[in-house]
Amino acid sequence: MTDYYIPEAPDTRTWVIHPEIKNDPDRREPEAALAEAVALAEALPGLDITGSEIVRLPKRHPGMLFGTGKIEELKQRLKQNEIELVLIDGHVGPVQQRNLEKEWKVKILDRTGLILEIFGDRAATREGVLQVEMAALSYQRTRLVRAWTHLERQRGGLGFVGGPGETQIEADRRAIDEQLVRLRRQLDKVVKTRTLHRASRAKVPFPIVALVGYTNAGKSTLFNRLTGAEVMAKDMLFATLDPTMRRVVLPTGDEVILSDTVGFISDLPTELVAAFRATLEEVLDADLVLHVRDIGHAQTAEQAREVETILSGLGLPEDTPQIEVWNKIDALEPDTREAALERAGRTENVCAVSAITGEGMEPLLDLISEALGGAKHAEELTVAFAEGRKRAWLFEQGLVEEDTQTEEGHRMLVRWSAAQKARFERL
């Protein structure tokens, strides 16, 4: 029997453009923004990044995004390099996308579309797949104008009824809405299961520590280092999407549940923020949040602010204790590294580590123990006779100073931290 060789399809020749728009309120450092856009493109398999550039604009042009002269200049450059796909790092409206594709004879993908493609490629769990599919459908719903260009010249009806093109778009929009309803029902079932798991975890007397941070800050590598797990950890954006949880024993002998979550990124599409809210709710239930930063990154301060903005938008309680983990100190130059270590040592709730080499792990675990212990205060409470499990938990944790039986139940004087009280209330 003859074996036939089937050659692999060549990678799609891709050009990355970051539009730098004057006086844009959301303006970012253009060189850093372009580098991040290229890294995003490299995270999607099947693309050959042929070139990239910053295009400076005085303003957005409604129909084409770029001005006439720049459109022609880019057209020649794309043609010379035989480009098939252009990634534009920013929002591109449906009409702008259609017009640019028609003018340049290439496929256009904006930042939201690219991130959705990456998420679609990486989602592994049922919940992740459903969330990405819902986000993609919500995104496509706004772009139906692109799909029906062959009907645009037709007109029909009596003026108060739309023509065939409009009717087709409405039918397509209705089909997407129906699919979204079906997916939402399926996702609700998955979320209910996750809620039950969360409720059962709440009954376990272990605090939850959530890892958060900008994508590629090294969360999964740190997670693997602390837990001995083998979560996918690569030097790329969005290497992991689905949350993972493992048990960690602290130096004090106490146990915690460590949770790894999806990485954040600036201009994260609103469709994805909404879709992944159920996953990110793990963070909202955490007793402690570890904010992992790539301390050597040129934009580390901006990335930290972006993470804080997203956490605030998700509704993270203000009193949730946080520790900043300055990761990747092994990659710093010796002088910079010493300065970072000295600054971290002087700053409260900051720990400098290397998830690769393991440096700083012991001080980090000590800081976690201290944060979860927190300041303790005495409080008197009555535990009903039917709540024997709660009473037993208080004794297991060594929190009881006095225990008196009354007609209503057990009047107990306990000394505990805010985190321990929160865990008791979840039992």
Indicate the annotated binding residues for GTP.
213-220, 238-242, 260-263, 327-330
Q: Would you say 38 and 75 are in contact if contact means Cβ atoms under 8 Å apart?
A: no
H or E element that contains 281: helix 277-284
C-alpha–C-alpha distance, residues 284 and 210, integer Å: 9
Binding site feature residues? 213-220, 238-242, 260-263, 327-330
Tokens of 255: 């146990």
Say whether 329 sits in a helix, a strand or coil. helix
Tokens of 314: 């998700």
Tokens of 249: 């024993």
For every residue of 60-103, DSSP letters joined together read -BTTTBS-HHHHHHHHHHHHHTT--EEEESS---HHHHHHHHHH
Q: Which amino acid is at 417?
A: S
C-alpha–C-alpha distance, residues 308 and 268, integer Å: 13
Say whether 397 sits in a helix, a strand or coil. coil
Binding site feature residues for Mg(2+)? 220, 240
Tokens of 392: 């037993």
Tally: H helices and E strands in the chain: 14, 13
Residues 6+ apart with CB under 8 A from 15: 50, 51, 52, 53, 77, 78, 81, 83, 85, 86, 87
Residues 6+ apart with CB under 8 A from 30: 18, 20, 54, 56
